[in-house]
Amino acid sequence: MESIAFRRKVADRTMKLLFLIAAILVVAPLFLIFADLLWKGAKELKWSLLTDLPHPVGEPGGGIANGIAGTLTISGLAMAAGVPIAVMTGIYLAEYGKGWLASTVRFCVDTLAGVPSIIMGIFGYVLIVLPMKRFSAWAGAAALAMIFIPIVIRTTEEMLRTVPHSVREAALALGIERWKATLFITVRTAWSGIVTGILLAMARILGETAPLLFTALGNQFWQSHLDGPIAAVPLQVFTYAISPYDDWHDKAWAGAVVLILMVLSISMAARFFTREKKWKT
């Protein structure tokens, strides 16, 4: 009898320990990655990184300024196209959507959200690069918008659904037309949540590399036209990382630090937005 109780106790302790180890192993890579980023990125992390064009191999210095500008340009374009489409679709699904169109669109959103990002790159290539016969910021933006749109539709719909019906009814009871009530009361109420979704999607597309490989392509110089190849930070990190040169490897790490700071600052901004206002019923 004694031994059974003992065995059960041992099993209990052992399993608890294993669960703890699993939890530690899950978060450990995060610390390792951040430590390596800071340690290996520090070497090339200077002001010129943010202000200069890339230098050729062997020539010290140089930066990724064109990549930063390019990333912001492509993501900005993707957002400009994506926000209206996604938010309006989200409004449709949450406020009006019934019947075949709504269920089909929901299915499409789920499908798009699961499509690997490299396939969105093929989409941008076939849709824009092939007909225009050159790589361009437009093609990169189209690929990123396809990633951006389903994420924002989902969060917009979810956020609108958290607005209690009493709020809509109160607005309608005051004699406000329904479209005004939707836009200025319901959407306004859920706005901080919608903005959070937009920011999180933005953070996601900022770091995307695969869809840009054969759409934006990358560029060693400044690009003033949107219909030509354009640089992007993730592409630069990739190119530097797989190159055989040590000084380029250092630049890859420094570029990665810049990239992660861009992504994290936007994610943090998103968290700040949700914390600001929480709807209470």
**Residues 22-41, interacting with another protein (CB under 8 A):** 22-23, 25-27, 29-30, 32-33, 36-37, 40
User: Least distance from C-beta 160 to another protein, angstroms?
Assistant: 11
Collapsing DSSP states into helix, strand and coil, what is residue 227?
Answer: coil
Residue from 221, 264, 265, 279 binding another protein (CB under 8 A): 264
Residue list 129-188, contact with another protein (CB under 8 A):
146, 149, 153, 177-179, 182-183
Nearest partner of 150 among 191, 205, 187, 97, judged by Cα: 205
Q: Name the minimum Å distance from CB 104 to another protein.
A: 6
Q: How far is the CB of 2 from another protein (least distance, A)?
A: 15
Using alpha carbons only, give the angle 88, 157, 173 rounded to the nearest 5 degrees. 80
Nearer to another protein, 61 or 116 (CB): 116
Q: How far is it, in rounded angstroms, from Cα 114 to Cα 107? A: 11
Between 185 and 260, name the residue whose CB sits nearer to another protein. Answer: 260
The residues in 60-99 that bind another protein, with binding defined as CB under 8 A, are: 84-85, 88-89, 91-93, 95-97
Q: Which is nearer to another protein, 178 or 277 (CB)?
A: 178
Cβ atoms of residues 108 and 41 within 8 Å: no
For residue 55, state whether it binds another protein (rule: CB under 8 A): no
Give the end-to-end CA distance of the chain in Å, rounded to a whole number.
Answer: 54
Among 6, 21, 169, 261, binds another protein (CB under 8 A): 21
CB of 91 to another protein, least distance (A): 5
Reported for 248-251, long-range contacts at CB under 8 A and 24+ positions apart, including other chains, are: 248/57, 250/40, 250/43, 250/44, 251/44, 251/54, 251/62, 251/64
The residue within the footprint of another protein, chosen from 242, 275, 276, 277 (CB under 8 A), is 242
Instruction: Give CA separation, 178 vs 14, 187, 190, in Å.
Output: 60, 12, 16
